[in-house]
Amino acid sequence: MSSSRPLRVAIVGAGPAGIYAADILSKTDVEVSIDLFERLPAPFGLVRYGVAPDHPRIKAIIVALHKVLARGDVRLLANVDYGVDLKLDDLRQFYDAVIFSTGSIRDAALAIEGIDLPGSFGAADFVSWFDGHPDVPREWPLEAREVAVLGAGNVALDVARILAKHADDLLPTEIPDNVYAGLKASPVTDVHVFARRGPAQAKFSPLELRELGHVPDVDVIVYPEDFEFDEGSMAAINSSNQTKQVVKTLTDWTLKDPSQFTASRRLHLHFLKAPVAVLGHEKVEGLRTERTVLNGDGTVSGTGEFQDWPVQAVYRAVGYFGSPLPEVPFDELKGVIPNREGRVIDIDGEQVPGVYATGWIKRGPVGLIGHTKSDASETVRHLVEDVTGAVPAGEGVEAVEGDLEAGRVAPHGSPDAIIEFLTERGVHLVQWSDWEVLDAHERALGEARGRERVKVVPREDMIRIARREDDATA
C-alpha cells in the first residue's frame, strides 16, 4: 500500500466518545481520513438519547459536538448498524484502523428475587422511552401510584424526577408528544429512591440533587434515621467538595418541618436500605429492603432487619452495561471490550492489530465528559504510535519519526469505496447534510410551539425527512 494516501480510520459510534476521538485524531500530525459510523439516523448518542429532557445545560454539550462534525473533515455515516450492515472484516477492507466507541446502553443486572416480574423495568429502557429513542415502543405502562427506584446515581435521580414531575412542567423541553401524553396520564403520587449505602456514598452530582428541590408541586422527603456517617464517610466528606455539597443538601432537607409537605406528589430518598426482593405473583406488588449498617470504610453489611414497601413498579438504576459486538473480543463480566489503554486485546492477551476502543465500551460506564476526552486522547495516542511507528511528542519525550508505510493496510483506501459498498447493500445512509435537514425540521416543529425542538421519534420518519423523500411525515 502506498503511503501517499491519508490514513483511513473508521470510528463506530457517534456519541461523545466517538466524536472526541475523531476530533483529537484529526488534530494529530498524521494525515487522516475519518468516517464516523452511527447505528441511529442521528448523531450524539447518549447526549441525545440518554439525558433527561429537562437538563438543557447538559444537552448543551451537543453544541460542542455539532461544531466538530460541522467542520467537514470528519464524515458522518449514520443509519449504519455494525454487525448487521457490515462487520469487522468489511471495515478492514476500507480502513487501516477501527475505533469502537459504542458505549454502554444496557441496564446492569440486579440479581434479586422477583426482578423480572411485570412492572419491573430497567432505567436505561425508560430513559430511552422518554428521550424518544426510535428503537423502543412508543407507549410505556405508567400505571403505578407508588414507585421504587433502585440506585444512588444521577440516572436514578433522572428517572425519579421524570416520574414525579408534572407533565405540563416538561412542555418547554423537547419531550416527544407520546411521552407527554403518557406522563400526563400517570397516577403517580409517591416515588421512593433506595440507596444501599449512606448519604456520603451517594453518587449524585450536587447540581442534580439541588435541582430536585425545585420541582414544582413535588416535595422531597428524607429521613433523619437514614443518616449515619462512619470513618469512611467523614473521610469522603473532608476530601471531596462534591460529597460535602451533596451531604449538606441532604442534611438541610432533614430539617424540614413535615407540616411543610403539601405537594400533590412526593419524592422520598432512602439511605441504608438494600433491595433484596421484588414482591408479587403476576406483577410487582411491593419491594423488600434490608436495613444496612456502615462498616467504617464506607461499605455496608446487612442487619437482618427487613421492611416491605407497597409499590406497583420498580425501576433499577444500578448502572449501565456494554453489549458485545460481532467479531470483537468482549469481557462478559465487566461489559467492556478488553483492552490495554485503548488497544483491543484477544483472549490470549495479544493486541488485535488495527482495532481500538474508547469511551464506556473501553473503561465501563463511569466518569463524566472530561474522562471521555482523556480516554479518547489515550486511545488516539496509541493508534498513532501503532500506525506510524512513532511516539508522539509529550509524555516527557520528543517526537520520533516512524514508518508511515506500516499504517496503510486497507486494500480499498478510497473514501468512495465504502459508500458504494453500503449502497449496494441497500443501506439508507444518513450523512451530515441529511442530519442538518432533520435537525432543522425538528427545530421548526419546536418553534411552532415556542420550544427549541420537538423530536421526530419513528426511525422511518427520521430517515425520510433526513433524505428529503417525498412522502416525509412529521
- Please write the tens of the pLDDT for every residue from 161-198: 999 999 999 999 989 999 999 999 999 999 999 999 99
Q: Is the pLDDT of residue 70 over 50?
A: yes
Q: Which CATH superfamily is domain 7-104+322-430 in?
A: NAD(P)-binding Rossmann-like Domain (3.40.50.720)
Residue with cell string 516512524: 402
pLDDT digit string (tens) for 295-345? 999 899 999 999 999 999 999 999 999 999 999 999 999 999 999 999 999
User: Is the pLDDT reported for residue 403 higher than 70?
Assistant: no
- Cα–Cα distances (Å) from 421 to 259, 332, 412, 414, in that order, read 67, 32, 11, 12
Instruction: Let me know: does 91 contact 98? Beta carbons within 8 Å.
Output: yes
In Å, what is the CA distance from 128 to each residue of 172, 204, 344, 448?
Answer: 19, 20, 29, 25
Q: What is the pLDDT of residue 391?
A: 54
CA pair distance 24, 18, nearest whole angstrom: 10
Rounded to an integer, the average pLDDT of 339-355 is 96
pLDDT value of position 401: 41
pLDDT tens across 252-264, in order? 999 998 888 999 9
Q: Residue 444 pLDDT > 50, yes or no? A: yes
**Model-level pTM?**
0.91
How many angstroms separate the most distant Cα atoms in the chain?
A: 77
Helix, strand, coil share of the chain (percent; to 5): 35, 20, 45
Q: Which three cell numbers stand for residue 50?
A: 440518554
DSSP codes joined into one string, 12-71: E--SHHHHHHHHHHHTSSS-EEEEEEESSSSS-HHHHHSS-TT-HHHHTHHHHHHHHHHT
Whether domain 106-320 has CATH 1.10.1740.10: no
394 pLDDT tier (thresholds 50, 70, 90): very low
Neighbours of 96 (CB within 10 A): 24
Phi, then psi, of 332 in degrees rounded to 5: -70, -25
Residues 6+ apart with CB under 8 A from 64: none
Residue 406 pLDDT class (50, 70, 90 cuts): low
Domain ranges of the chain: 7-104+322-430, 106-320
Answer whether residue 57 shows pLDDT above 90.
no
User: How high is the pLDDT of residue 474?
Assistant: 43
Asked if pLDDT for residue 68 goes beyond 90, the answer is: yes
Beta-bridged to residue 86, according to DSSP, are 82
Q: Report the distance separating Cα 159 and Cα 165, nearest Å.
A: 10
Write down the pLDDT at residue 298.
Answer: 85
Query: Residue type for 105, please?
Result: I
At which residue does the C-alpha cell 423495568 appear?
A: 121
